[in-house]
């Protein structure tokens, strides 16, 4: 499964980096936002665009960001808005930024800070937008709390609607917003995955026993989520049966850091790992009931390898991956050494 180096490489990030996001709201271009993670230098946010020829990545904009970026999300309804979570030594913060109008000048203009989400008393982990479009609310997660914000980007006001503390013993580290239900959010919490209802701010469900690094909702089918775990690889869950995973994928040689469903072909799953590889999986969730019924003991030949391809032309651990919403067969990956690679998964997409 040696992945041929078919990817388009962007080497413009000069520092280490963890975060990359697809600019969903841009209907005309396939672009990604990547933020650097440099403790001692001035950090940057790059707006990277795939040229229409599909063979080159260019830097469409380079903006200085005051601190090192631990989380970056693009606003799903405005291509010029994005959120970051940053730390600087002991201080931390989360902000929503607006990319200034570029009048031909690309030499690092200042980002316009729309809102600062400064109600947090713990280290902030991530900011979540509702993935499917215009929604005036925002979620931010810090180590101990879940915040629901009401955002008005025009008047630059952010108000906390509700806040729920999960208790000192727990340790939130990330989450995902259900695209099928605006009131459901999944939060990664220590040794479990918790599901919250935003109306009541109560926990509704949880998957125990998982050491989860990342979680992603199936964009097409409700109740299905994928989790990435340190040792156990990737697990696919049906939330109506949270006791046991619906499917397991072996994951990576070391930790599986991130997992993403393809926005269009929901049986394609992308995962990134600290073994310097990005794996493309085929997990036919539609047939998972059958495959569970048939015991795998009988015939090992019947198991088709779910691993479609392993892209391992990387030098360091990969923490960031993003499918492009505009071209669902394209994805970008970001390794820790700051290299962005855009690949096409087209050869592996089954025509239905």
Partner 1 sequence: MAADNVPPLDEKAKRTRELLASFYSPDPSSAAASSPHAKPASLDSINSPAFDPDIYMGLLVQKSNLEGLLQKHVEMAAEIKNLDTDLQMLVYENYNKFISATDTIKRMKNNIVGMEANMGQLLAKITSVQSRSDIVNTSLFEKREHIEKLHRTRNLLRKVQFIYDLPTRLGKCIKTEAYADAVRFFTGAKPIFEAYGDSSFQDCKKASEEAMDLVIQNLQAKIYSDSEPIEARAEAVVLLKQLNFPVDSLKTNLLEKLEDYMSKFQNESKEVEASEPDSSGPSKASIGKISKTVRAYLIIFPDSEKRLIELAQDLFTRCYESIQQSIKKRMPSADLLAMLRNIAEDVTLMDNVLPEAALPAFSLEAVRSIIRQYISTAFSYLLLEVSEALTKIQPKPKEALEESLLQMALEGSKKAVIQGSMDLLLEFRQLLDGDLELLAKLRDLIIDWVQEGFQDFFQKLYGHFLLLSGRSNITNQDSSITDSIPVDKIQTGLVLVLAQLSVFIEQSAIPRITEEIAASFSGGGVRGYEHGPAFVPGEICRLFRSAGEKFLHLYINLKTQKISILLKKRFTTPNWIKHKEPREVHMFVDLLLQELEAVAVEVRQILPRGIIRRHRHSDSTGSTNSSRSNPMREDKLTRSNTQRARSQFLESHLAKLFEQKMEIFTKVEYTQESVLSTIVKLCLKSLQEFVRLQTFNRSGFQQIQLDIEFLKNPLKEFVDDEAAIDFLLKEVISASHERCLDPIPLEPPILDKLINAKLAKNRELSSNSHSR
Nearer to partner 1, 113 or 191 (CB): 191
In the complex, least distance from residue 269 CB atom to partner 1, rounded to whole angstroms? 17
Query: According to CB under 8 A, which one of 112, 197, 230, 327 is a site residue for partner 1?
Result: 230
Q: What share of the chain is helix, strand, coil (3-state, %, to 5)?
A: 5, 50, 45
Quick one: which segment of 2-10, 106-114, 227-235, 321-329 binds partner 1 (CB under 8 A)?
Answer: 227-235
Is residue 90 a contact point for partner 1 (CB under 8 A)? yes
Integer-rounded Cα Rg, in Å, for the chain is 20
Tokens read off for 292: 């569970």
Specify whether the backbone of 129 is left (phi greater than 0), alpha (psi in -120 to 50) or beta: beta
Residues within window 245-274 making contact with partner 1, judged by CB under 8 A: 245, 248, 253-255, 274
* Contact by Cβ (8 Å): 172, 125: yes
Query: According to CB under 8 A, which one of 8, 132, 201, 292 is a site residue for partner 1?
Result: 292
Residue 110, classed as helix, strand or coil, is strand
CA nearest to 255, candidates 272, 270, 274, 279? 274
The Cα–Cα gap between 115 and 247 comes to: 41
Is residue 302 a contact point for partner 1 (CB under 8 A)? no
In the complex, least distance from residue 96 CB atom to partner 1, rounded to whole angstroms? 24
In the complex, least distance from residue 72 CB atom to partner 1, rounded to whole angstroms? 17
Taken as a whole, the chain contains a residue count of: 352
Nearer to partner 1, 248 or 264 (CB): 248
Instruction: Kindly give, in sequence order, each residue whose CB lies less than 8 Å from that of residue 80, ignoring residues fewer than 6 positions away.
Output: 98, 99
Is residue 293 a contact point for partner 1 (CB under 8 A)? yes
CA angle 102, 104, 108 (to 5 degrees): 60
CA distances from 59 to 25, 49, 54, 63, 311 (A): 18, 6, 14, 11, 23
Is residue 83 a contact point for partner 1 (CB under 8 A)? no
In the complex, least distance from residue 67 CB atom to partner 1, rounded to whole angstroms? 11
Instruction: Kindly give, in sequence order, each residue whose CB lies less than 8 Å from that of residue 108, ignoring residues fewer than 6 positions away.
Output: 44, 62, 63, 64
Residue 111, classed as helix, strand or coil, is coil
Quick one: which segment of 8-16, 126-134, 162-170, 259-267 binds partner 1 (CB under 8 A)?
Answer: 8-16
Nearer to partner 1, 31 or 312 (CB): 312
In the complex, least distance from residue 90 CB atom to partner 1, rounded to whole angstroms? 5
Tokens read off for 147: 């915040």
The Cα–Cα gap between 185 and 317 comes to: 28
Is residue 336 a contact point for partner 1 (CB under 8 A)? yes
Nearer to partner 1, 64 or 116 (CB): 64
Quick one: which segment of 95-103, 181-189, 291-299, 325-333 binds partner 1 (CB under 8 A)?
Answer: 291-299
Nearer to partner 1, 86 or 323 (CB): 86
Query: According to CB under 8 A, which one of 8, 42, 66, 98 is a site residue for partner 1?
Result: 42
The Cα–Cα gap between 326 and 204 comes to: 33
Is residue 119 a contact point for partner 1 (CB under 8 A)? no
Is residue 311 a contact point for partner 1 (CB under 8 A)? no
Nearer to partner 1, 112 or 230 (CB): 230
What phi and psi, each to the nearest 5 degrees, are found at residue 287?
-95, 15
CA distances from 109 to 18, 68, 98, 99 (A): 22, 18, 11, 9
Tokens read off for 322: 């993003």
Query: According to CB under 8 A, which one of 87, 165, 206, 329 is a site residue for partner 1?
Result: 87
Considering CB under 8 A, how many residues would be counted as binding partner 1?
Answer: 38
Give me the residues that bind partner 1 (CB under 8 A), please.
Answer: 14-16, 39-42, 87, 89-90, 171, 230-232, 243-245, 248, 253-255, 274-275, 292-293, 295-301, 315-317, 336-338
């Amino acid at each position: 499964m040696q992945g041929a180096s078919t990817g388009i490489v962007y080497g413009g990030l000069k520092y280490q980096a963890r975060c990359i996001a697809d600019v969903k709201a841009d209907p005309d271009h396939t672009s990604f936002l990547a933020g650097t993670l440099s403790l001692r230098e001035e950090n940057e946010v790059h707006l990277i665009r795939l040229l229409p020829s599909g063979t080159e990545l260019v830097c469409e904009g380079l903006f200085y960001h005051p601190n090192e970026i631990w989380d970056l999300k693009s606003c799903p309804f405005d291509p010029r808005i994005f959120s970051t979570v940053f730390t600087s030594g002991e201080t931390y913060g989360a902000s929503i930024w607006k990319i200034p109008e570029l009048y031909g000048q690309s030499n690092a203009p200042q980002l316009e800070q729309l809102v600062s989400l400064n109600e947090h008393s713990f280290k902030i982990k991530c900011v979540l937008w509702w993935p499917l479009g215009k929604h005036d609310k925002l979620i931010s997660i810090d180590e101990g709390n879940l915040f629901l914000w009401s955002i008005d980007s025009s008047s630059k006001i952010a108000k906390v609607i509700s806040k729920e503390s999960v208790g000192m013993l727990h340790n939130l580290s990330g989450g995902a917003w259900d695209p099928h239900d605006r009131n459901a959010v999944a939060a990664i919490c220590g040794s479990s995955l918790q599901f919250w209802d935003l109306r009541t701010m109560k926990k509704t469900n949880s998957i125990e026993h998982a050491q989860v690094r990342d979680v992603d909702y199936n964009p097409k089918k409700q109740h299905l989520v994928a989790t990435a775990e340190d040792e156990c690889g990737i697990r696919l869950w049906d939330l109506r049966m949270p006791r046991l995973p619906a499917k397991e994928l072996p994951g990576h040689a070391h930790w599986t850091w991130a997992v993403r469903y393809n926005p269009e072909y929901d049986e394609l799953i992308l995962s990134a790992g600290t073994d310097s590889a990005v794996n493309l999986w085929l997990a036919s969730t539609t047939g998972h009931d059958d495959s569970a019924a048939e015991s795998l003991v009988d015939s090992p030949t019947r198991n088709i390898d779910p691993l479609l391809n392993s892209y391992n032309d990387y030098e360091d651990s990969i923490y960031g991956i993003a499918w492009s919403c505009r071209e669902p067969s394209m994805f970008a990956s970001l390794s820790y050494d700051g290299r962005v690679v855009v690949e096409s998964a087209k050869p592996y997409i089954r025509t239905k």
